[in-house]
Amino acid sequence: MYKISTGSSIMHCPVLLESRSRLKAQMETSVVAAAPDYFTRTRVSRNVNMEKLQNNYLFPEISSRELEHMKKYPHAKLISLGIGDTTEPLPEIVALSMANYARCLSTPEGYKGYGLEQGNKELRKAIAETLYKDLQIKDTEVFISDGSQSEISRLQLLLGSKVTIAVQDPSFPAYIDSGVIMGQTGEFDHASGRYQKIEYMKCGPENNFFPDLHETSRTDIIFFCSPNNPTGQAASREQLEQLVEFAQENGSIIVYDSAYAAFVSDESPRSIYEIPGARKVAIEVSSFSKIAGFTGVRLGWTVVPDELLYSDGFPVLHDFNRIICTCFNGASNVAQAGGLACLSPEGLTAVYSAVDHYKENARILVDSFTSLGLRVYGGVNAPYVWVHFPGSKSWDVFSEILEKTHVTTVPGSGFGPGGEEFIRVTAFGRRDNILEASRRMKSLLS
């Protein structure tokens, strides 16, 4: 049976937090005192919304702790199962497509400059016809982006500071943090671990990872990710029908993140637009990052149906097009050439082969944790495994696994208060590393 020490981590220790706050204040005071010699301050006040953000963004914090660990153990072989970064090489057809496009740029005949802000017309059409087949998505409703995360921030800019938002708890932290920066939230409440003015929709094992909508307050915007990051759970058709009906009744807009749709292994919907009526209440954001290994290439897309209207009847699509033209200058033409190759028959075969590799990794991880008597979720419809350590602080579990096995995970509380007592383990990795990490964690937790 597993055993994890339950001492409070630095993240949760009031004494250390107070000490760190005092040190920070002393440093700031010393910098101000030295200002005449070294710095000249402007008369511009700091954005008050930035001051609301808590600590560092989750994933750079994980990277920072990995670096500190390697300084302490320079000869250890660190295995990262934390940040969800792909590891399988790009399919050859995709890499060659981008390389050929880049080579053409060195010739007078092949050189091209700015592309359309909305994206390559061929790629928009290929996404509509290949990934949304039979769902009546038009190519003019597809906007090419440089990835889901940056697109979420542009959507927040579109929606403005006055809207109210709801998020799953736990959820991908960018939805919350971008809302904080935009000014959509109140102050952070340390006692609850929540920001004021956000509706946190509890999504845990006790409610089958889907919120009780009868107990959910009405908000303007509902951020919903399926298959979910971090829990790995995919909402069923019945559940998404409830969500769409809830949005219709409340006049809300769903921002639906389908970045992991390619991992769906059962009858769960891959797109919100499989649900009748969704075109009138939903925006869908997705990405090539995890399905095609484009985490470093950066390419994604957003679907904004022309039937989605504001309360005054104005089409949301028109405003989003203005945001794209004003705040974005289009995705890389080289990356878009790769995206087109991904959606060719040969490209799709290669892409889904890599997806199958990660799904087998997930199965190995699920089996390993389950064999230890732990409750394990996810790992079937998503590349994430969500492991429960009852009674333990998730940062403590993260720290002990890292210290004793040299394996990085992600503490569940980094995804919101609903993630406490859990860790997220990614299946993105080379097979030998997945097997070795499983062996090490079995040795620690058995």
Q: Which of 13-22, 30-39, 250-259 is modeled with the greatest confidence?
A: 250-259
Taking residues 380-403, report their average pLDDT: 97
- CA–CA distance, 147 with 331 (Å, rounded to integer): 9
Q: Average the pLDDT over 318-342 and give the result.
A: 97
Q: How far apart are the C-alpha atoms of 404 and 391, rounded to whole Å? A: 20
Residue that wins the pLDDT comparison between 99 and 11: 99
Q: Which residue has the tokens 């058709």?
A: 237
Q: For residue 65, report the phi and psi dihedrals to the nearest 5 degrees.
A: -70, -30
pLDDT of residue 20: 46
Mind listing the pLDDT tens digit for each residue in 276-323? 999 999 999 999 999 999 999 999 999 999 999 999 999 999 999 999
Averaged pLDDT for residues 115-140: 97
Identify the CA nearest to 319 among candidates 329, 307, 310: 310
**Which pLDDT score is estimated for 3?**
53
The whole-number pLDDT of residue 37 equals 60
pLDDT > 70? residue 23: no
pLDDT tens track for 60-81: 899 999 999 999 999 999 999 9
User: What token pair was written down for 231?
Assistant: 């829990």
Mean pLDDT, range 365-383, rounded to an integer: 97
Instruction: Look up the CATH number of domain 92-346.
Output: 3.40.640.10
Confidence of residue 34 (pLDDT cuts 50, 70, 90): very low
- pLDDT score recorded for residue 36: 53
Give 83-93 pLDDT, tens digit per residue: 999 999 999 99
- Largest pairwise CA distance in the chain: 67
Q: How far apart, in Å, do the first and last CA atoms of the chain sit?
A: 5
pLDDT at 14 over 60: no
More confident residue, 56 or 40: 40
Q: Which CATH number, 3.30.300.180, 3.90.1150.10, 3.30.420.40, 3.90.79.10, labels domain 56-89+349-445? A: 3.90.1150.10
In this predicted structure, the answer to whether residue 27 has a pLDDT above a threshold of 60 is no
pLDDT for 55 equals 76
Whole-number average pLDDT of the chain: 92
pLDDT at residue 10, rounded to an integer = 37
DSSP 150-217: HHHHHHHHHH-SS--EEEEES--HHHHHHHHHHT-S--EETTTTEETTEEEEE-SGGGTTS--GGGPP
φ and ψ of 226, to 5 deg: -150, 130
The phi, psi pair for 393, rounded to 5°, reads -75, 135
Burial class (CB in 10 A: 0-12, 13-18, 19+), 402: buried
**Residue 56: per-residue pLDDT:** 80
Question: In the numeric block, which tokens belong to residue 42?
Answer: 């402007």
pLDDT score at 54:
86
The whole-angstrom separation of Cα 41 and Cα 4 is 48
pLDDT tens profile 424-442 = 999 999 999 999 999 999 9
- Look at 4 and 335; give whichever has higher pLDDT: 335
What tokens does 406 get? 């040299």
Residues 6+ apart with CB under 8 A from 71: none
Interval 199-222 mean pLDDT = 98
For the segment 335-343, the average pLDDT, to the nearest whole number, is: 98
Strand order in the sheet with 375-378: 375-378, 384-388, 422-426, 410-411
pLDDT surpasses 50 at 13? no
Residue 261 CB partners (closer than 8 Å, separation 6+): 227, 270, 271, 286, 291
